[in-house]
Amino acid sequence: MHETTSSAKPWAGRFNAPTDAFVEAFTASVDFDQRLYRYDIQGSIAHATMLARQGILTEAERAAIVQGLEAVRARIEAGEFAWSIPLEDVHMNLESALTADIGEAGKKLHTGRSRNDQVATDVRLWLRDEIDGIRGEIRRLQQALLDLAEREAETILPGFTHLQVAQPITFGHHMLAWLEMLERDRARLADCRRRMNVMPLGAAALAGTTYPIDRHYTAELLGFDRPAENSLDAVSDRDFAIEFTADAAILMMHLSRFSEELILWSSAQFGFVELSDSFCTGSSIMPQKKNPDVPELVRGKSGRIFGHLMGLLTLMKSQPLAYNKDNQEDKEPLFDTVDNLKGSLKVYADMMGNVTCNHARMRAAAKQGFSTATDLADYLVRKGIPFRDAHEVVGKAVALGVREGRDLSELTLAELRSFSAAIGEDVFAVLTLEGSVAARDHIGGTAPAQVRAAIERARERLSAEAHDDVR
């Protein structure tokens, strides 16, 4: 038989038997939701301020509550607060400590609210700040990519499709592709934040409250755009957590793709880049090894966050309105998603500022696989040959190169002219790697001039958005 506990509960009036000790521990959330304490106190101070303004609390009661909550916060931050499992969660722990400190006024704080609207408000306040921090880390990574792209604007490497050499591109252009992926991630998180910035507080348990509260005033105090329109939806909605985790999953998918390329590029088989020793580890048995552990671990963490998204969707899919105890399970996957996403972005922003390019290896790889074949086809089109015919001509020239073990640029003029009389001495200008990338001189193209112009536009955009975020 399980033990029981006799600890008094703030809600124990209706119950005739104490809570089973195992059930008490099993249902408690304070071990993980205590990280919300700042936001719970912030919400409580705003709630008390509104209650006093409406005449539901006296000004003296409000002042005692605010002073008491700030004292509790100071004890927590000094590591002097004893969290209690019998008090279940962060809300009851803080309220109990407040009441112990200031007496009757502390018992009045919960007037006109429930833990249902309280926790929904706390998590939104917390996640709002976390999104701001995450968007800042994305911007820091983007700035590192811009610096790297600028240094390597003219560095040539092979562009791949199907992981086969396709066309020569510049390394700077490749870094800007990653930048664009991150730009969409930052925009998605901004959209998520806007949708999330609606205040549940005042919805109480599910139906609102009979007290003459002013939810617009509380929302203003807490920086929300508006109070939630419907009390049932306000306490049961976890769309914002799912949307954030979906956005995080997409972002981690992008970082996983970055990781895969860095892992390949830093291998002996590619040798395109070298990661700083600070972001790699060695082998316990093979002295020569330098393992790209950071990108490998980030690649692995993507699966962890995908799992959290599936977990949250499954958590909510069968819940009737309004609040259910199931919703306690939303926090740990959400907290873990935030922690791992922030960590991955931080380490990536630091790591990308210390990437070294092996120009010779990149250039040698770009000369393999007939990467300028499309340039030869475009050259023939400019000579008046239909593209499909030009495609066939180049295919035959490539076949000769494969048999001879020579690149197109290494074939003689006579050999090239044997496939088309339209080919002249000027063909060799388009068969060079530099000529190939320089010819893509349009917005979005890989030409060094376009890479530098794109970098300048991106820097201006990031600067303007950072200024807007601060306001």
**pLDDT tens digits, one per residue of 379-404:** 999 999 999 999 999 999 999 999 99
Helices and strands (DSSP H and E) totals, the chain: 20, 6
SS3 456: helix
Query: In Å, how far are 117, 220, 246, 315, 320 from 230, measured between CA atoms?
Result: 12, 18, 24, 22, 15
Pick the range with the lowest mean pLDDT from 15-24, 144-153, 287-296.
Answer: 15-24
What 3 state SS string does 333-398 have?
HHHHHHHHHHHHHHHHHHHHCCCEECHHHHHHHHCCCCCCHHHHHHHHHHCCCCHHHHHHHHHHHH
Whether residue 82 is preceded by a cis peptide bond, meaning omega within 30 degrees of 0, is: no
Average pLDDT of the residues in 324-332: 93
SS3 123: helix
Average pLDDT of the residues in 361-369: 92
User: Quick one: pLDDT band at residue 304, thresholds 50, 70, 90?
Assistant: very high
User: Quick one: pLDDT band at residue 9, thresholds 50, 70, 90?
Assistant: low
pLDDT of residue 198: 98
pLDDT one-digit tens code per residue, 226-241: 999 999 999 999 999 9
Pick the range with the lowest mean pLDDT from 7-21, 292-306, 396-410.
Answer: 7-21
pLDDT one-digit tens code per residue, 401-425: 999 999 898 999 999 999 999 999 9
pLDDT of residue 8: 61
Q: How far is 54 from 66, CA to CA, in rounded Å?
A: 16
Please say whether the beta carbons of 246 and 341 come within 8 A: no
User: Quick one: pLDDT band at residue 1, thresholds 50, 70, 90?
Assistant: very low
Average pLDDT of the residues in 162-187: 96
Q: What letter would DSSP give residue 273?
A: E
pLDDT at 243 over 90: yes
Report the amino acid identity of residue 261. E
**b/e map of 238-251 (b: 16 or more CB within 10 Å)?**
bebbbbbbbbbbbb
**Closest C-alpha to 174, from 407, 378, 362, 346:** 362
Structure tokens at 324: 């259910």
**Closest C-alpha to 153, from 460, 458, 446, 368:** 446
Pairing of strands 273-274, 198-199: unpaired
Rounded to 5 degrees, φ, ψ at 71 are: -70, -40
pLDDT of residue 16: 60
Average pLDDT of the residues in 454-470: 87
pLDDT of residue 368: 87
Identify each DSSP E strand in 180-278 by its residue range: 198-199, 226-227, 273-274
Average pLDDT of the residues in 26-48: 93
Other Cβ atoms less than 10 A from the Cβ of 75: the count is: 13
Active site residues: 162, 283
The owner of tokens 């060094």 is 448
Q: How far is 363 from 60, CA to CA, in rounded Å?
A: 75
Q: Is the pTM of this model over 0.85?
A: yes
Please say whether the beta carbons of 408 and 370 come within 8 A: yes
Report the amino acid identity of residue 312. L
Q: What letter would DSSP give residue 324?
A: -
Q: How far is 36 from 30, CA to CA, in rounded Å?
A: 10
pLDDT at 439 over 60: yes
Q: What is the mean pLDDT of the chain?
A: 93
pLDDT at 17 over 70: no
Average pLDDT of the residues in 156-177: 96
pLDDT of residue 384: 94
pLDDT of residue 2: 40
pLDDT at 104 over 60: yes
Q: How far is 457 from 375, CA to CA, in rounded Å?
A: 28
Q: How far is 164 from 9, CA to CA, in rounded Å?
A: 66
pLDDT one-digit tens code per residue, 244-292: 999 999 999 999 999 999 999 999 999 999 999 898 888 778 878 789 9
pLDDT at 146 over 50: yes
Q: How far is 421 from 442, CA to CA, in rounded Å?
A: 30
Please say whether the beta carbons of 422 and 444 come within 8 A: no
Please say whether the beta carbons of 149 and 172 come within 8 A: yes
pLDDT of residue 307: 98
Report the amino acid identity of residue 34. Q
Please say whether the beta carbons of 305 and 249 come within 8 A: yes
pLDDT of residue 465: 83
pLDDT at 326 over 60: yes
Average pLDDT of the residues in 96-104: 97
- The whole-angstrom distance between residue 161's C-alpha and the CA centroid of its chain comes to 26
pLDDT of residue 24: 74
pLDDT at 11 over 70: no
**Closest C-alpha to 347, from 463, 262, 250, 460:** 262
Query: In Å, how far are 41, 101, 363 from 155, measured between CA atoms?
Result: 53, 66, 8
pLDDT at 218 over 80: yes
pLDDT at 19 over 70: no
Structure tokens at 174: 């490749």
Please say whether the beta carbons of 240 and 127 come within 8 A: yes
pLDDT of residue 4: 39
